[in-house]
Structure 1
């Protein structure tokens, strides 16, 4: 995450909005295992690339994910700070509230509906 200091109310609302979508939670769960290309994620989640790109853009705008380009392909991964804090079990202080991720649950989240 780019933000390590407590967030303002507006930043906190933006971050929580980014997490408040089941598709984005599935993306985060998948990215805990490895980095994925946009094509792989779209296929795995059954989404069009434009629809997926919207969700990835939201996650990127709040610093949860980052990209790596390889030729024409773009790969997404969790940002190192977000990953470290989530994997450590450390609470992520947003200023208005704190979050802690349960990494035992994600496999259940990514089951296709």
Structure 2
């Protein structure tokens, strides 16, 4: 088990907590998968599959700045496993929604990460 550098929780427990909590703040039909970034112990990689007919999937990097705050980077969006332009209005709105969901999840887990 690796210790997250700015957190007092091991990475495996952090990933499990995110995997349990993030779906509760997202639209119920969307799916997510959380994994630790092997290179950076205070960073999570988040993959979200949009439940709509568009078959979009999104990748984000979520880095803990401190025990309460995260910085979220959008990495990629795909449709049917092919990268697509993220500059369309629909895609930008979905990215913004998911970033809000990720921040909300971090807020819900602050009791765990502040220990």
* TM-score (norm. length: structure 2): 0.27
Structure 1 length normalisation: TM-score?
Answer: 0.27
* Structure with a larger share of its residues in strand: 2
Higher relative contact order (CA 8 A, sep 6+): 1
Greater fraction helix: 1
